[in-house]
A and B are shown apart, each in its own frame.
Chain A
Amino acid sequence: EVQLVESGGVLVQPGGSLRLSCAASGFTFSSYAMNWVRQAPGKGLEWVSSISGSGSNTYYADSLKGRFTISRDNSKDTLYLQMNSLRAEDTAIYYCAKPLPGVHGPTDCWGQGTLVTVSS
């Protein structure tokens, strides 16, 4: 069974940093691109970032302006999202998501999400 378990979401002050983790199991992690998608309270879905299976290619939403960094450790089957210079508008549930084979977009498996709250 494919499982994605996010962790690391906490209350953090504006300007702070945070690293989210996503532990994957039930599939060959290194064979799949991976995505982070977020959802602010009561709002829609927002794609955050994607990374190729090898980790050599990364992609980001324009709105992040270099504040976030996606990475992966295929030896640990774990995906990461380093978040710096956090703002109130980054408050959201952050989902780790696995796309279908060979593509980045259509995502057929999602974690339960981890809540990041940015507030003083």
Chain B
Amino acid sequence: EIVMTQSPATLSVSPGERAILSCWASQSVTRNLAWYQQKPGQAPRLLIYYASTRAAGIPARFSGSGSGTEFTLTISSLQSEDLAAYFCQQYNNWPLSFGGGTKVDI
């Protein structure tokens, strides 16, 4: 089973600043990596897939990079509505697996 590790657990960022979230895989997942945003009381929302492809309707301030075992989600200029938890997910191997999440505080 591939273990996904996210860092940091909590990130405090001021509006307008850049936020960088990291995700590591215990073995290579090539580029089969997705990022989700989850706001309190809501279902998750897909942000990024194939490591760097933005999902439909996702603002350009969200970008993903990386391959293999190291991945990054960057929010270029944080907005107040970006307060949420962010999860990475690998879908290269069964069983699929999520990281533990990063909570972004503003």
A residues with CB within 8 A of B: 35, 37, 44-47, 50, 59-62, 95, 100, 103-108, 110-113
Q: For the complex of A and B, list the 5 residue pairs with the smallest distance between their C-beta atoms, beginning with the closest.
A: A105-B91, A106-B49, A110-B43, A47-B96, A106-B34
B101 touches A113 (CB 8 A): no
Count of chain B residues with Cβ under 8 Å from any Cβ of A? 26
User: Across the interface, which residues of B come within 8 angstroms of A44, CB to CB?
Assistant: 85, 87, 98-101
For this complex, 16 residue pairs linking A to B, each with C-beta atoms less than 8 Å apart, are: A44-B87, A44-B98, A45-B36, A47-B96, A60-B95, A95-B43, A100-B46, A100-B49, A103-B91, A105-B32, A105-B49, A105-B96, A106-B91, A107-B34, A110-B45, A112-B43
A45 engages B46 (CB within 8 Å): no
A59: B residues at CB distance < 8 A: 94-96
Flag whether B89 is at the interface (Cβ < 8 A): yes
Q: Find the B residue at minimum CB distance from A61.
A: B95
Is residue B69 contacting chain A, with contact meaning CB distance below 8 A? Answer: no
Cβ–Cβ contact A45 & B55, under 8 A: no
Query: Does residue B66 face the partner (Cβ distance < 8 Å to A)?
Result: no
Return A98 CB to nearest CB of chain B, in Å.
10
**Chain A residues near B98 (CB, 8 Å)?**
44-47
**A106 → chain B, closest Cβ, in Å?**
4
> Which residues in window 79-101 of B have CB below 8 A to A?
85, 87, 89-91, 94-101
Beta-carbon contact of A45 and B91 below 8 Å:
no
| B95 engages A108 (CB within 8 Å) | no
Are B46 and A106 interface neighbours, CB within 8 A? yes
- Evaluate contact between A45 and B87: CB separation under 8 angstroms: yes
Q: Is the CB of A107 within 8 A of B99?
A: no
Asked if B44 is at the interface of the complex by the 8 Å CB criterion, the answer is yes
Q: Which of A62, A95, A105 contacts B1 (CB 8 A)?
A: A62
> Closest residue of chain A to B53, judged by CB?
A106
Give the docked Cα–Cα distance between A35 and B34 (Å). 15
> Could you tell me the distance between the alpha carbons of A106 and B91 in the complex, rounded to whole angstroms?
7
